[in-house]
Amino acid sequence: MNVAIIGLGLMGGSLAKSLKKLDFIESVVGSDHNEIHQKEAMELALVDKIVAFSEVKDYDVIFLAIPVDGVISALKNLIDIKENATIIDLGSTKAKIVDSVPLEIRKNFVAAHPMTGTENFGPRAAVDDLYDDKVVVLCDLENSGEAQVKIAKKIFKALNMKKHFMSASQHDRHAAFISHMPHAISYSLANTVMHQENKHNILALAAGGFRSMSRLAKSSANMWEDIFRQNKTNLLEAIELFEIELNLLKKNIENEEWDKVHKYIEAGNRLHDILD
């Protein structure tokens, strides 16, 4: 099959690198509105060639690896794709995207979210095996065509991804806690330090803990503004629940209730009994 990828940044570029290794993929082309990205993608040999947006409609599989607001706009301009084509979006939000799919191409569309990435962006951020052994969430498959679901599953299986299935609304609430809120916290942590008069002295002490927690603050402002906007309700709930936890710890420290502080830390330790 012939594949077109719209968006040649970290996600799209890394996907192209992985797809080109699969024996059932004949060609991988790319489309990106950013001319610098086009040039870099070709220099890095991420795709076989660059095509105009209008040309992707001729391909068997079309991946949308662009910011989530861009996914909604792109779908409106893909209603005249080939009858049996498959469109797969990789957006970090799902509900508003699914709701926006034109009825004419709903069966062609598969909603997916690969739970992977880095804080870097652009074609030069593309890496080998970004998708390998990662989770991909597939949403509302009952509304996608049987052939399109089969193709999506085949591709993600070939990429060695672990498939999970849920509704778009479930996905967005879960993602708010494990992805969207952590980004919000990281941006806030970075800005807390940057607003200090002696920020350079503070950052001179930055070690593993601070660097780990602030790493996400390098992520694209354009991409994450869209994500925060689309998942506003779930994100606000997650932030409010985090504030309750942080205020509880703050209160225990203020009152010098160190036994409670100790137990609170131990409770947090148990998260990694599940993750590890």
Q: What are the φ/ψ torsions at residue 260 (nearest 5 degrees)?
A: -70, -40
With contact defined as beta carbons under 8 Å apart, do 215 and 119 qualify? yes
Write the DSSP string, 46-113. -SSEE--GGGGGGSSEEEE-S-HHHHHHHHHT-TTS-TT-EEEE--S--HHHHHHS-GGGGGGEEEEE
List the one residue out of 113, 124, 120, 255 whose CA is nearest residue 178. Answer: 113
Give me the amino acid identity at 180.
Answer: H
Tell me the CA end-to-end span of the chain in Å, nearest whole number: 38
- CA–CA separation, 12 vs 122, rounded Å? 9
Q: List strands edge to edge, sheet with 61-64.
A: 49-50, 27-31, 2-6, 61-64, 86-89, 109-114, 135-139, 162-166
The domains found in the chain, sorted by start residue, are 2-166 (3.40.50.720), 171-275 (1.10.3660.10)
Q: Two tokens at 171?
A: 């996905």
Beta-bridge partner residues of 137: 113, 164
Q: Two tokens at 31?
A: 């489309």
- CA–CA separation, 276 vs 269, rounded Å? 11
- CA–CA separation, 244 vs 152, rounded Å? 40
- CA–CA separation, 244 vs 250, rounded Å? 10
Global pTM reads: 0.87
List the one residue out of 30, 32, 77, 84 whose CA is nearest residue 60. Answer: 84
Burial of 23 (0-12, 13-18, 19+ CB in 10 A): exposed
- Check residue 197 and give its pLDDT: 72
User: pLDDT of the chain along its 276 residues, tens only?
Assistant: 999 999 999 999 999 999 999 999 999 999 999 999 999 999 999 999 999 999 999 999 999 999 899 999 999 999 999 999 999 999 999 999 999 999 999 999 999 999 987 777 889 999 999 999 999 999 999 999 999 999 999 999 999 999 999 999 999 999 999 999 999 999 999 898 888 877 777 676 666 677 888 888 988 888 899 999 999 999 999 999 999 999 999 999 999 999 999 999 999 999 888 876
- Burial letters for 134-171: b for 16+ Cβ neighbours within 10 Å, e otherwise? bebbbbbbeebbeebbebbbebbebbebeeeebbbeeb
- CA–CA separation, 137 vs 127, rounded Å? 21
